Structure 1
Amino acid sequence: MTTPSKGQVIAVTDEELREMPLPTAKAIEIHAFVPASSIDPLMIAEGYYLQAKGQVAAKPYVLLRKALERSSQVAVAKYAWSGRERLGLLRVRGDAIVLHAMRWPDEIRDPAELAPEAVELDEDEVAGARALIDSMTRDGIEGAEFAVDAYTEALERVIEAKLEHRAPPVAPAAAEPTGRVLDLMAALEESVAKAKASRGESREADVHELPKKKSAARKTAKKTAAKKTVTKKAATKRGA
């Protein structure tokens, strides 16, 4: 195989890219069917609805959709997108098939380096956290608190005010909470204190400080607001 020398530029035309001997260049190629639970959610990226092109494609489309429904599995495929081959996940949503872009395994960061140092937890602390989770468990995320994007609504009001040459709205000094706000440490301390009190021990709860949150991402994105800078690590080491 001949490789270009350093600094050498090789011109490749759009037509040559279209005619590359790559099976996935013009089609989605299914490679396997696997249980949905076997796919790490961190590998799954944006999703797109697939549409059958014409009546000829309608029957295989519906056939695949029904087969996936009855098998309770998802299909893992390969396809070309934005100049590169990608992994994809096919699943059923309603009467449509959804294609999710997937990250390659080497794009996912190993979380071992982010694991906190060893800490001591007693069963009361764990039981308190579990009780807290149980008290907030629900069947799904249907609800007003998950359907309203307050940030976008506030931004629209700011833009509207500027268009009308008015002063943009500002946050009130003490805004009323719009939903259930959870202070995890306070809830854990209360739960642990109650458990210890039931055994006749001191009501002072000994709860270790929770570690700061870190994302599973490879990239680092910075967002500045109110003279404070928060750094978040991206989920992948290269763009999905």
Structure 2
Amino acid sequence: MATRTIWKGAISFGLVHVPVGLHTATTESGVDFDWLDKRTMDPVGYKRINKRTGKEIDRDNIVKGVEYQDGKYVVLSADEIEQAYPRTTQTIEIDRFVDAAAVPFVFLERPYYLAPLNKGHKVYALLRDTLAKSGKIGIARVVINTKQHLAALIPAGDALVLNLLRWGDEVKSMDDLDLPAQDAKRYAPSANELKMAKMLVEDMTGEWQPEAFRDEFKHAVMSLVEKKAKAGKAKTVFEPEEEAPAYADNVIDLTELLQRSLKGRGGTRKPAAARKAAKAPAKTAKRAGRKATTTTATKPTAKKTRKAA
């Protein structure tokens, strides 16, 4: 199934830019349980309730506060929060390259596929293959929907995967855990124990086949739902019509942001040798750009009729 491009930009390292599009790499596999009134089978929604008075309050009376001590909050205005947002860019800015094994799995949060855009396939493949052969991954920063993320750029077969990472202060320390130290002699296995353990691991070793694993709870629940539906035990729920919300939609037009960032971006002047080497490809790219513009323009349905003399 084709996935929608949710972000367009470029991978940047040194003077190299790789135009890419971001695609979701995962889907939610849990079971969604909706709240229903058992007497009428009406859907039950969420309300804005004052926890002290138990009364519903208007949206206009809601402010955002941050708890800095137990029970003490600092209220921030919408403008103050807006100022704190990171500067929106369309760049996956690589900060450094590290060994792939150096980043523990506990830091991995959410993966996305990156696909090349605008004839960037060759430089995309160059970066992918370089990372794969060197055993390195790129550590980068990226802003998605006004939120800044730390991310790892990882080669995976034909693709580059952008895996969002947890920030360093979001991963708890293991210092308080009662763990056996790797060099502790009292916990060191004997040669025979280690040999048998390795034999067991080798005996259980197989190929990674993700399709062989599934959410057993979801499968059991959906099988039960299908069985009861076929038995005529399904109930009809009528969703009440809701008025459109009074507040503005905060979805950002990423295409518009990309166009604005490209128009307002001043290029860094390259050295003379680099300009000379890039002169011929630049002319070719310019001609290709004019051709692309021509082909993407809306074609008229019929030829224009000449005006009468």
Name the TM tier (shorter chain). 0.5 to 0.7
Residue aligning to 2:77: 9
Equivalent residue number for residue 153 of structure 2: 90
Alpha-carbon distance between aligned partners in 2 of 1:98 and 1:144, rounded to the nearest angstrom:
17
Relative to structure 1, is the Cα distance of residues 8 and 75 closer, same or farther in structure 2, using a 3 angstrom cutoff? closer
SS of 1:50's equivalent in the other structure is strand
Question: Do structure 1's residue 136 and structure 2's residue 201 form an aligned pair?
Answer: yes
TM-superposed CA distance for 1:122, in Å, is 7.3
Cα offset for 1:146? 4.0
Partner residue, 2:218: 152
The answer to whether structure 1 residue 48 and structure 2 residue 48 are counterparts is no
The structural deviation recorded for 1:44 is: 1.2
Are residues 1:109 and 2:172 paired?
yes
Distance 1:145 1:127 in 2: 36
TM-score, structure 1 length as denominator? 0.53
1:99 maps to which residue?
162
Match of 1:66 among 122, 125, 129: 129
Tell me: CA distance 1:130–1:158, structure 2 relative to 1, closer, same or farther (3 Å).
farther
- Give the number of aligned pairs: 157
Segments of structure 2 that go 5 or more residues without pairing to the other structure are 1-73, 234-309
Measure how far apart 1:34 and its partner are. Answer: 1.0
**Residue number in structure 2 paired with 1:32:** 96
Q: How far did residue 13 of structure 1 move?
A: 10
* Alignment deviations for residues 98-135 of structure 1 (CA, whole Å, 9 cap, x no partner): 110111111110112122599965755x8536623531
Deviation at 1:85, TM superposition (A): 1.2
Spell out, residue by residue over 1:135-177, the C-alpha distance to the aligned partner (whole angstroms, 9 max, x if none): 133554435994344333222211102212379xxxxxxxxxx
The CA deviation at 1:77 is 0.7
Partner Cα distance (1:150, 1:10) in 2: 44
Report the AA paired with residue 27 of structure 1: T
Match of 1:161 in 2: 227
CA distance in 1, matches of 2:195, 2:115: 43
What is the SS of the residue equivalent to 1:155?
helix
Structure 1 vs Structure 2 CA RMSD: 3.6
Q: TM-score, normalised by structure 2?
A: 0.42
Q: Secondary structure at the match of 2:116?
A: coil
* One-letter amino acid matched to 2:114: L
2:136 and 2:97 map into 1 onto residues whose CA distance is 6
Partner Cα distance (1:107, 1:148) in 2: 29
Q: Which amino acid aligns with 1:109?
A: K
Q: Which runs of 5+ in 1 are unaligned?
A: 1-5, 168-240
Percent identity at matched positions?
A: 24
Whether contact under 8 Å (2:116, 2:124) holds in the other structure is yes
SS of 2:143's partner is: strand
Q: 1:132 to 1:60 in 2, by over 3 A?
A: same
The question of whether the paired residues in 1 share the 8 Å contact of 2:86 and 2:148 is answered with no
The whole-number CA distance in structure 1 between the counterparts of 2:123 and 2:211 is: 39
Distance 1:144 1:99 in 2: 20
Q: Judging changes above 3 Å, is the alpha-carbon distance between structure 1 residues 129 and 152 closer, same or farther for their aligned structure 2 residues? A: farther
